[in-house]
Every structure is written in structure tokens, then in C-alpha cells.
Amino acid sequence: MNEEGGRAEQALQGMFENAAKALQYHREAGAGWRDDEKTVDAILRRIGNLGEAAKRMPVARRADHERIAWREIIGMRDRVIHGYDDVDPDILGDVLEHDLPELMEQLRQLGVE
């Protein structure tokens, strides 16, 4: 595998692992996750890390995986990193309930686990 292929695999793996951890924290906290500052912080950290991993994906390789919402993932990372106190809990909840499970399924289809 060439260097770019190795970076791509690491990026995909990092995305998967951080999505899984964010969902784990959400699940463990239960319905009151929004009221637990540590849980929200941990979830935001993992979403930021996920976006950072997505940014490390070589741009040329992103086109190979066009079903993945690269722009949105990286945009969420930027929002979390540069203005996390302004993240709408409803949007974060939607990311946790819909976007991350969908992303993980897309990554599984690529053989990432």
C-alpha cells in the first residue's frame, strides 16, 4: 500500500473509532445526556476528532467514497473546535441519532471496523 493509501485507511479508521466512542458515550448517558456536561464535552471531543480524521483523508481519495458527507463532517468539526459553546443540542442530537450511525454503516461497507 502506498503512503496515500495508508493515510486514507488511517483516516477512515479514525473516523469509525471516534464515531463509535461518541455513540457509546451517548448510549451510556441515556436520555439525560444533554444535562451531563462531561458527556456533552466527551461527545463533542469525539466529533471534533472524527472531523480531524476526515480532514486527514487525502482529497483525491475522498472522491472514491462520495457517499460520505465530507464537507458536513469537516464543517461540524470546525464548528465544534472553534465555537463549541454555540453547538445547538438539537443538531448534536440529530448527529448522534442519525448521522453517526449512517456514517458507521458506510464505513463498515468499506471494510472498516
The verdict on whether 77 is a catalytic residue reads yes
Encode 73-102: b = buried (16+ Cβ within 10 Å), e = exposed.
bbebbebbeeeeeebeeeebeebbeebbee
From 7, 82, 98, 108, active-site residue = 82
- Cα-based distances in Å from 69 to 29, 61, 85: 27, 13, 23
From 34, 61, 71, 77, active-site residue = 77
The verdict on whether 82 is a catalytic residue reads yes
Task: Give me the active site residues, please.
Answer: 77, 82
